[in-house]
Structure 1
Amino acid sequence: MNSAYLDLIRIRFMMMLAYRVNYYSGIIIYAINIGAYYFLWQAIYGDQPSLGGFTVAQMTTYVAVSWMARAFYFNNLDREIATEIRDGSVAIQFIRPYSYLMVKMMQGLGEGIFRLLLFMVPGMIIVCLIFPVSLPTDPFVWLLYLVMLAFSFLINTQINMLTGLFAFFVENNEGMMRMKRVMVDLFSGVVVPISFFPGWLEMVMKWLPFQAITYLPSSVFTGRTAGSEVWGVLGLQAIWFVVLLLPIWWVWRMARYRLFVQGG
């Protein structure tokens, strides 16, 4: 990897470190969210041993790991890209000797590493002390989950970049970015596991990339998906990563001929 890109990762990490207090409060907010969902699902389950293919214990772990995974893969690259397009500063990127899209990916990675070390990990420790979260004991499951978590970051970042790049074609894509955020949280399985959706909608979700962000990795972590099936879900993540490269490349290629600047 080009050393300049590594520097971008380091710079973004240090930038996030300067505002680390904000993320300490974020841990509390996420713990409160997890607590709210925990008691909600406890009430929904009642005396039933399982719902939607999840036991009560699996659902508790699913909620905790899904929200803490979100703390890692979440970023605002879509808003950054849209802002740079609207103010025209993106024009400078066309003449610089590196890939603008790769720059954004590396900046997102620097933020992701910060969120992993100072948000997700300490947050998960705190949540495990408060709620009855069942962590897997098999080292292979942990290793596989970390690989899938990396794909979660990549796929979510690709969706963010694609959403941000649409600012080339509309003067204000704020509504699109808000819609994207709602769709990612809802259809990725953070709010409700995909197996709880109506049958027809669950089938539709399986043809969209959102499940690869949260639902598939969390299902493996909780043991709902096990055995040879884990290779299938990992392969599905890899496929979506490759597939999403195509629209990003196409939109970026078309955008190079549509650049205009608002303001002065």
Structure 2
Amino acid sequence: MRVYLTAVRLSLRRYLAYRSSAAAGAFTNTVFGCIRAFVLMALWKQKPEIGGWDLADAVTYAFLTQGLLAPMGVFMTSTELGPRIRTGDVAVDLYRPVDFQTWWLSLDLGRALGGGLLRTVPPVLFGALLFPVRLPSSPLRWTEFAVCCALGYLISFGLRYLASLAAFWTMDERGMSSILVALGMFCSGLIIPLSVVPGALGTVLLHTPWAGIMQMPINVLLGTQSGGVGYALAFGTFWAVLLLAAGRMLTDVARHKVVVQGG
């Protein structure tokens, strides 16, 4: 366990070192949060309530999604494992006396914590100061939100880890990863809240793993999650366990059946 905690600490330290880049990212996220908030405000002014959300819920959603972008890795095409498989450097990683999947999870967790510390608070704080947002005061609600975010992060890592492993067979994971990013942008609720997508499409999207990355944690924070917190936790746990188990199984297959690039 100590080696994984050290990996998290060193990875976090590496990401915290680039403060100017983080400040630029936070500024960009805040600007896009404002743009998306104005778009949603125009939409909600035409219809004061959509899908059980009022204007304050929609604006809160706009800034929370921007704040969760970095820690959840929605725009990340894969983990750092993908390029190492492509170059053959993964051979060194396979010889490390650690669990392969847990090692990469630890490194990615350090990145997520760094992104959360430097790029999550500014957009949300700016939105709360200048826009009609609805942030709960209940510590319990925030705790539930944090747990759902942790499960959402595991889902995100599970998807990106599987995309990275594709490089063992395709020799380049970037095509698969680009498809994953495109799906993630829409299916996670980043472009438009899944709660307001009508009909069968909305139902399908709410049952994909991407829904647990951002949409459900925000629903829990706003108190609008259908089925309550229990459903959101069960949903997130199911997809996190399934994807991590699939990644572990595929790792074992790759370790025994695939030749690393370069021989």
Q: Which category describes the TM-score, using the shorter chain as reference length?
A: over 0.9
Which position in structure 1 is the counterpart of 2:137? 137
- Aligned positions of 1:1-264 closer than 5 A: 2-74=1-73, 76=76, 78-225=78-225, 229-262=228-261
CA shift for structure 1 position 215: 0.8
What percentage of residue pairs aligned between the two structures are identical?
Answer: 28
Q: Counterpart of 1:46 in structure 2: which amino acid?
A: K
Q: Counterpart of 1:18 in structure 2: which amino acid?
A: A
In structure 1, how many angstroms separate the alpha carbons of the residues matched to 2:181 and 2:77? 12
State whether residues 78 and 165 of structure 1, in contact with CA within 8 Å, keep that contact through their aligned partners in structure 2: no
State whether residues 77 and 180 of structure 2, in contact with CA within 8 Å, keep that contact through their aligned partners in structure 1: no
State whether residues 78 and 164 of structure 2, in contact with CA within 8 Å, keep that contact through their aligned partners in structure 1: yes
In structure 2, how many angstroms separate the alpha carbons of the residues matched to 1:30 and 1:45? 22
RMSD of equivalent CA atoms:
1.9
CA shift for structure 1 position 58: 0.7
State whether residues 26 and 118 of structure 2, in contact with CA within 8 Å, keep that contact through their aligned partners in structure 1: no
Q: Can you give the 5+ residue segments of structure 1 that lack an aligned partner in the other structure?
A: none
CA shift for structure 1 position 203: 2.4
In structure 1, how many angstroms separate the alpha carbons of the residues matched to 2:129 and 2:197? 31
Q: Counterpart of 1:243 in structure 2: which amino acid?
A: L
State whether residues 34 and 63 of structure 1, in contact with CA within 8 Å, keep that contact through their aligned partners in structure 2: yes
State whether residues 148 and 234 of structure 1, in contact with CA within 8 Å, keep that contact through their aligned partners in structure 2: yes
Q: Counterpart of 1:61 in structure 2: which amino acid?
A: T
SS at match of 1:78: coil
Deviations 1:37-92 (A, max 9, x none): 11111111224220122111111111111221222221748252111111111112
The count of residues paired between Structure 1 and Structure 2 equals 262
SS at match of 1:176: helix
Deviations 1:102-149 (A, max 9, x none): 111001111111112222123322332232222102221111101111
CA shift for structure 1 position 261: 4.2
State whether residues 145 and 221 of structure 2, in contact with CA within 8 Å, keep that contact through their aligned partners in structure 1: yes
State whether residues 169 and 258 of structure 1, in contact with CA within 8 Å, keep that contact through their aligned partners in structure 2: no
Please list every run of at least 4 consecutive aligned residues from structure 1 whose deviation after the TM superposition is greater than 6 angstroms.
none
In structure 2, how many angstroms separate the alpha carbons of the residues matched to 1:65 and 1:177? 24
TM-score by length of 2: 0.93
Q: Counterpart of 1:124 in structure 2: which amino acid?
A: V
State whether residues 220 and 228 of structure 2, in contact with CA within 8 Å, keep that contact through their aligned partners in structure 1: no
In structure 1, how many angstroms separate the alpha carbons of the residues matched to 2:259 and 2:119? 38
State whether residues 77 and 161 of structure 1, in contact with CA within 8 Å, keep that contact through their aligned partners in structure 2: no
In structure 2, how many angstroms separate the alpha carbons of the residues matched to 1:139 and 1:81? 37
Q: Counterpart of 2:182 in structure 1: which amino acid?
A: V
Q: Can you give the 5+ residue segments of structure 2 that lack an aligned partner in the other structure?
A: none
Q: Counterpart of 1:171 in structure 2: which amino acid?
A: M
- Once the two structures are overlaid, the 10-residue window that deviates more, 97-106 or 77-86, is 77-86
In structure 2, how many angstroms separate the alpha carbons of the residues matched to 1:257 and 1:198? 46
State whether residues 145 and 220 of structure 2, in contact with CA within 8 Å, keep that contact through their aligned partners in structure 1: yes
SS at match of 2:80: helix
- Once the two structures are overlaid, the 10-residue window that deviates more, 25-34 or 191-200, is 191-200
In structure 2, how many angstroms separate the alpha carbons of the residues matched to 1:79 and 1:243? 18
